[in-house]
Amino acid sequence: MPYYVRAFCTSNDIPTLSTIFQYASSKGIDLYVDEQHGLVDVNSSDWSQVEISYKKGKSPLVVECNRYDGTQECLARVEPLEFIEKIGSPGFSLTKRRVIKHLKNTQFIISSQLLNDINDDGYNANGTFLTYFVEHCGGMIQADNEGFYDGETLILKVH
């Protein structure tokens, strides 16, 4: 069963893949688009789906960028609303209020599908890839069957 990790981003500016790859390289992680997994212009910010390789012989990270297009039907609106429903009423919880506010202000979502043969190198590669969005695009990380994170700290469990 696929496992997803997402970055809910409040910025309007989507980076190029080459910018993210340079960031990852500065952290000691080599990310690239292998030609066998399709061609994409890594110098354009107009990407929507890409398979990102991190190690030869391993399945790539399957990454999607879903942008808010002004409609309520787009995934960048539907998915945050689904999580808000799962979170429920915030009551007096400042953490729930913070996460809900962030979800309501989401402009794009980066979702990484981690395939079955992922190893520690893949988790590190995906973590570095998504950290770029936290540091540069107002991203908040959510992991399936875990919840929402502030850095490496789980701040709100959501199953």
* Amino acid 133: pLDDT: 98
Percentage of the chain surpassing pLDDT 70? 97
pLDDT confidence bin for 85, thresholds 50/70/90: very high
Average pLDDT over residues 134-146: 97
pTM to 2 decimal places: 0.94
For 88, residues 6+ apart whose C-beta sits below 8 A from its C-beta are 96
* Amino acid 117: pLDDT: 87
Comparison of pLDDT for 87 and 39, the residue scoring more: 87
* Amino acid 116: pLDDT: 85
* Amino acid 159: pLDDT: 82
For residue range 61-73, what is the model confidence (pLDDT) as tens digits? Answer: 999 999 999 888 9
Average pLDDT over residues 133-148: 97
| Average pLDDT value for the chain | 94
CB 17 within 8 A of CB 28: no
* Amino acid 38: pLDDT: 61
